[in-house]
Amino acid sequence: MFCRILNALDDEVISLDYPRNGDEMAVAGRIKDAMRAQCVPQIVRAWYDVVLMYRNSDPELCTGVLDSMRRYISWIDISLIVNESFTSLFFELMLVDGFPDQLRAAAASVLLAAVSKRMDSKSKLALLKSLHIRRAFGLVAGDSDSELVSGVASLLTGYAAEALECSKRLSPSDGKEISLELLNEVLPSVFYVMQSCEVDATFSIVQFLSGYVNTMKSLSMLTETQLLHVRQILEVIRVQIQFDPIYRNNLDVLDKIGREEEDRMVEFRKDLFVLLRSVGRVAPDMTQIFIRNSLASAAASSEDRNVEVVEAALSLFYALGESISDDMMRTASGQLGELVLMLLSTRFPCHSNRIVALVFLETITRYMKFVQENTQYIPVALGAFLDERGIHHSNVNVSRRASYLFMRVVKLLKAKLVPYIETILQSLQDTVAQFTRMDGSSKTQSGSEDGSHIFEAIGLLIGMEDVPLEKQSDYLAALLTPLCQQVEFALLNAQTQIPDESATNIAKIQQIIMAINALSKGFSERLVTASRPAIGLMFKQTLDVLLQLLVVFPKIVPLRCKVTSFIHRMVDTLGASVFPYLPKALEQLLAESEPKELVGFLVLLNQLICKFNTGVYDILEEVYPVIAGRLFSILPRGDIPSGPGGSTEEIRELQELQRTFYTFLHVIATHDLSPIFLSPRGQGYLDPMMQLLLHASCYHNGIAVRKACVQIIIRLIKDWCTRPYSEEKVPGFRSFVVEVFATNCCLYSVLDKSFDFRDANTLSLFGEIVLAQKVMYEKFGNDFLHHFVSKGFSNAHCHQDFVEQYCQKLQGNDIKALKSFYQYLIEHLRHQQNGSLVAR
């Protein structure tokens, strides 16, 4: 009953494990103060007497008493508990084998509460020293699942954490060295606990070890003891990052359980790898020796039990690489060089396992800069990617990743691989054949590998100018000819195929286009147009074949997207020589008018304009009226309404189309192509275009879109309005700008309180709006100024003093001063209106 009353008092009133408000905290404080003054010493005496009397006859009762004691230690006088009588009793209970585990663990938890009690560092050090904790070290060697071992493990880790804190806070004169001695004494047992026992959830292994490693950062040289501890820390990291063998098959086939475990471990390992890199900076040689020994040990152990060990050793080396600079990686002298060579030369017995194969390839890729400097190791490195450890691995996830990593390796080594091109192509022959043969047995239909990375790697290899022209032509023809033949065969048989066959063939054609697309990335525009036009001709012939797909399969959207992507690629590769192919291509692509397709079409036109500027005028003159007609029939004049319950897919597509159209208009305007809007077939769309731009510049919820629309109008003013009072190039444009755009966009839209001057993007838009006023004054002179002041400012009830200052700033040459004053003016007008918006 005595224990139950104390526990209830703790649960209901005192304990901070439960949320308490301010009043409840004050009540608890008064009760604790009164208890300290009146009865805590008697309670403590009662605890001691009960445990001493009943420890043999009623251990369960004593366990309950110790649990009550543990609860109260955080706020009572610690000298009542940590003294000769109590400490001797606690250690007797822990160390004597005859007592039940629950009682022994309860004694350990009381000591942990005492060790964890908040106090100044000098008092804490004295407490730690008085415990002679080494007496408990042997207890953790028992059954790791037992309550006793768990309790003692928590005590030792808690003790070590407090000793570390003392070493950080105390100066040498206050006992820093003593705290380090206590820490060094307990650390071997703590390392054992970390590797062998279930650690208390409140104790962070990484946080504690990181704190300990930080104490070594300022040291010029580590002691033997510290080096020993560093090695033990590395061992703890190695053990902690190992996968549980129970998940081996799940991880290999990567089912749902395997995926979840892999994701969990990726997250769990992050902090451990940060710790590893910290250790690597403090003791680089020791870290590298440890990883070398781990790899050697893993390679020597039997295949059936070393999957997790090998994966952990390789992961350590991979993670270490993140902290090694490029220069260190290139020179890789001493231990690091030996480690890289060991990695390249070792064949692990469990290479067939997915997680081992993947981390092996990732690690080689990470250290490839060493191979870049030491080219004699290129054949060994290539072997890892080209044989059954990489691209030819039996696990499709590994072969796919190996293809991507190999492409990265080729990008890095480039010209240094020229002597090995024949060997590489020979090794990849069967992989490439999956795409080039016409027997229908291609594995590409499974979707396991789209071939793009392999073909990109080959393109990078054979597309270099270091490769002789004759060989380059042969290599490229050997790839392009069979791929194009398959497309031509599909085109010939398009009408006669049954639906299932047709779907299979279309999927295969898509993969062929992706492969050709990837292959072309290795060939520069200069090479295919200037130095080796014969290569360019081969790509032109390929483009000609692929464009026929748009005619024969006009309704297959994914196929059209792939062809569009290839046209993008050829614009970059063939440069201006692609022009003869564009009219036919654009005509076919324009045959469809779904919003998604139109977005892709506009993006292609944007690329052409950005690359060739006014060179595409004739093409644009033909297609702009068709595009404008389509878009103005699809897009609403104002905002696109959201559907009930949020945006539907259809609305999102319309929004994307609208954004892309604004970008398209911006690209036209800023590349000297605004005459397109005034062409005989284009000028019919001028009015709806200006209304769209006006609405968007004032009200669009995307600040970037508003800014782009203001920039378009500024550009059109500059292009179409030469000087004040001259003849109008575009009838009605000047009055539209002065009477409608200026007041609505440059004044009323910024007076709206939704225009947030604290937002950086909005401030950038405001800069464009101020610039627009400056340009209008330069082009229209007092016409603009008179209308803006008489209609705009007067409606906003702007004081005459402000009007005069505005005119002065506008007529001056300091745009920053104008912007600053105009912002002040707008904020003043908002305040004056007290939130009521101007009637527009």
pLDDT digits (tens, 9 = 90+) for 424-472: 999 999 989 887 665 544 444 333 346 789 999 999 999 999 999 999 9
The predicted pLDDT at position 497 comes to 65
The predicted pLDDT at position 232 comes to 94
Q: Is a pLDDT exceeding 60 seen at residue 837?
A: no
Q: Which of 17-21, 76-80, 802-806 has the lowest mean pLDDT?
A: 17-21
Q: Is a pLDDT exceeding 90 seen at residue 382?
A: yes
Q: Is a pLDDT exceeding 50 seen at residue 840?
A: no
The predicted pLDDT at position 348 comes to 85
Q: Is a pLDDT exceeding 70 seen at residue 839?
A: no
The model's pLDDT over 148-184, given as tens digits with 9 standing for 90+, comes to: 999 999 999 999 999 999 999 999 888 889 999 999 9
Q: Is a pLDDT exceeding 80 seen at residue 202?
A: no
Q: Is a pLDDT exceeding 90 seen at residue 541?
A: yes
Q: Would you call 32 exposed, middle or buried from its count of C-beta atoms within 10 A (0-12, 13-18, 19+)? A: middle
Q: Is a pLDDT exceeding 80 seen at residue 14?
A: yes
- C-alpha 308/C-alpha 239 separation (Å) is 10
The model's pLDDT over 35-56, given as tens digits with 9 standing for 90+, comes to: 999 999 999 999 999 999 999 9
The predicted pLDDT at position 500 comes to 64
* DSSP code for 199: -
- C-alpha 786/C-alpha 175 separation (Å) is 82
Listed residue (53, 55, 57, 56) closest to 45, CA to CA: 53
Residue 31 confidence class, pLDDT cut points 50, 70, 90: very high
Output the furthest CA–CA distance in the chain (Å, rounded): 114
Listed residue (104, 11, 97, 96) closest to 62, CA to CA: 104
Residue 494 confidence class, pLDDT cut points 50, 70, 90: confident
Q: Is a pLDDT exceeding 90 seen at residue 300?
A: no
Residue 499 confidence class, pLDDT cut points 50, 70, 90: low
The predicted pLDDT at position 349 comes to 81
Token pair, residue 193, equals: 């606990």
The predicted pLDDT at position 614 comes to 94
- C-alpha 106/C-alpha 94 separation (Å) is 9
Q: Are 230 and 222 spatial neighbours (Cβ–Cβ below 8 Å)? A: yes
The model's pLDDT over 586-617, given as tens digits with 9 standing for 90+, comes to: 999 888 767 888 999 999 999 999 999 999 99
Residue 554 confidence class, pLDDT cut points 50, 70, 90: confident
The predicted pLDDT at position 838 comes to 45
Token pair, residue 480, equals: 């392009």
Q: Is a pLDDT exceeding 60 seen at residue 316?
A: yes
Give one DSSP letter per residue of 98-164, joined into a string: TS-HHHHHHHHHHHHHHHHS---HHHHHHHHHHH-GGGGGGGGGS-TTSHHHHHHHHHHHHHHHHHH
- C-alpha 443/C-alpha 457 separation (Å) is 20
Q: Is a pLDDT exceeding 80 seen at residue 548?
A: yes
The model's pLDDT over 81-108, given as tens digits with 9 standing for 90+, comes to: 999 999 999 999 999 988 999 999 999 9
User: CA separation (Å) from 285 to 220, 227, 336, 618, 640?
Assistant: 14, 10, 8, 67, 63
Angle formed at CA 99 by CA 97 and CA 103, multiple of 5 degrees: 125
The predicted pLDDT at position 304 comes to 62
The predicted pLDDT at position 445 comes to 38
The predicted pLDDT at position 459 comes to 96
Spatial neighbors of 436 by CB under 8 A, at least 6 apart, are: 479, 482, 483, 486
Q: Are 626 and 589 spatial neighbours (Cβ–Cβ below 8 Å)? A: no
The predicted pLDDT at position 724 comes to 62
Token pair, residue 781, equals: 């002179």
Q: Are 216 and 184 spatial neighbours (Cβ–Cβ below 8 Å)? A: no
The predicted pLDDT at position 504 comes to 81
Q: Would you call 814 exposed, middle or buried from its count of C-beta atoms within 10 A (0-12, 13-18, 19+)? A: exposed
Q: How far is CA 320 from the centre of its chain?
A: 20
The model's pLDDT over 687-714, given as tens digits with 9 standing for 90+, comes to: 999 999 999 999 998 999 999 999 999 9
Residue 726 confidence class, pLDDT cut points 50, 70, 90: low
Q: Which of 234-248, 328-342, 455-469 has the lowest mean pLDDT?
A: 328-342
Does this model's pTM top 0.75? My answer is: yes
Residue 645 confidence class, pLDDT cut points 50, 70, 90: low
